[in-house]
């Protein structure tokens, strides 16, 4: 009886410690997200942020991926391109399925740049989007997005990028949003230069 009581006490203590750690980590994360929101004049509601970030509408949230024992959390960033790309245009990293379709002559639209086209799947590629995507600085930042984020795409005028795990400091959130923000800036600059040449 004494052995059973001791075992129960140890298990209960372990559970209390685990729940305390989970609660504490969540509390730290919520405080960090609130700090980030305050830095940029945004609104924070737990692990969700919304507002304007450096001039770009943005939303940041957490979502679940996988199922069962393989389930995990990701942080998902939604950042507007401020009209730098047409809403009907879409871009995403090219997957194995896309490569196989190309072998059978059913590939996506292409920019005409071999290195770029083998990395990205493009849809509804307009003349204005083509001009923007041909800028070397835009391509450089898109390649950086490939290496930095777990997944990303551009659809309906928004960049969506996700990273595994949840940032626990405001500085980590700055790092998470940095590459996407730089891409948005570069897209807008390239679109402005393209429109300027068209107007000229």
User: Residue 149: is its pLDDT beyond 50?
Assistant: yes
Residue 49 phi, psi dihedral angles, 5° rounding: -125, 145
Predicted TM-score (pTM) above 0.75: yes
Dihedral sign for Cα atoms in the order 63, 98, 157, 136: positive
Q: What is the pLDDT of residues 56-77, one digit of tens each?
A: 999 999 999 988 889 999 999 9
**Domain coordinates of the chain in residue numbers?**
2-199
Residue 159 has pLDDT above 90, yes or no: yes
Structure tokens at 25: 């980590």
The pLDDT score that the predictor gives to residue 10 is 75
Q: Are 133 and 139 in contact (CB under 8 A)?
A: yes
Mean pLDDT, rounded, for 42-59:
96
* Residue 194 confidence (pLDDT) above 90: no
In angstroms, the CA 59 to CA 84 distance is 18
Does the pLDDT value for residue 200 go beyond 50?
no
Give the mean model confidence (pLDDT) for residues 18-30: 79
Kindly tell me if the per-residue pLDDT of 104 is higher than 80. Answer: no
Strands (E), 20-165: 43-44, 48-53, 56-65, 72-80, 90-93, 120-123, 151-155, 158-164
Q: Is the pLDDT confidence value at 99 over 60?
A: no
Give the separation between CA 73 and CA 168, rounded to whole angstroms. 13
Q: How confident is the model at residue 9 (pLDDT cuts 50, 70, 90)?
A: confident
The first and second tokens of residue 45, run together, are 């509601």
Which residues neighbour 92 within 8 Å (Cβ) at sequence distance 6 or greater? 120, 121, 152, 153, 154, 155
Q: Do 169 and 39 contact (CB within 8 A), yes or no? A: no
User: What pLDDT is attached to residue 72?
Assistant: 92
Taking a C-beta distance cutoff of 8 angstroms, is the pair 172, 34 a contact?
no
* pLDDT value at 199 more than 50: no
CB 111 within 8 A of CB 91: no
| Nearest residue to 141 via CA among 113, 110, 182, 80 | 182
């Amino acid at each position: 009886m004494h052995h059973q009581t001791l075992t129960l006490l140890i298990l209960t203590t372990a559970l209390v410690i685990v729940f305390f750690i989970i609660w504490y980590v969540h509390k730290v994360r919520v405080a960090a997200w609130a700090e980030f929101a305050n830095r940029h004049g945004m609104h924070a509601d737990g692990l969700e942020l919304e507002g304007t970030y450096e001039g770009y509408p943005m939303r940041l949230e957490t979502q679940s991926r996988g199922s069962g024992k393989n389930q995990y959390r990701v942080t998902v960033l939604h950042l507007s391109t401020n009209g730098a790309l047409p809403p009907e245009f879409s871009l995403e990293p090219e997957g194995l399925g896309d490569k196989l379709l190309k072998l059978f002559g059913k590939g996506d639209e292409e920019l005409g740049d071999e290195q770029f086209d083998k990395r990205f799947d493009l849809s509804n590629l307009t003349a204005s989007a083509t001009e923007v995507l041909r800028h070397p600085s835009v391509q450089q930042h898109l390649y950086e997005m490939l290496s930095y984020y777990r997944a990303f795409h551009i659809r309906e005028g928004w960049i969506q990028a996700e990273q595994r795990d949840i940032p626990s400091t405001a500085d980590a959130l700055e790092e998470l949003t940095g590459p996407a923000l730089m891409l948005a800036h570069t897209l807008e600059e390239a679109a402005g230069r393209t429109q300027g040449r068209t107007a000229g």
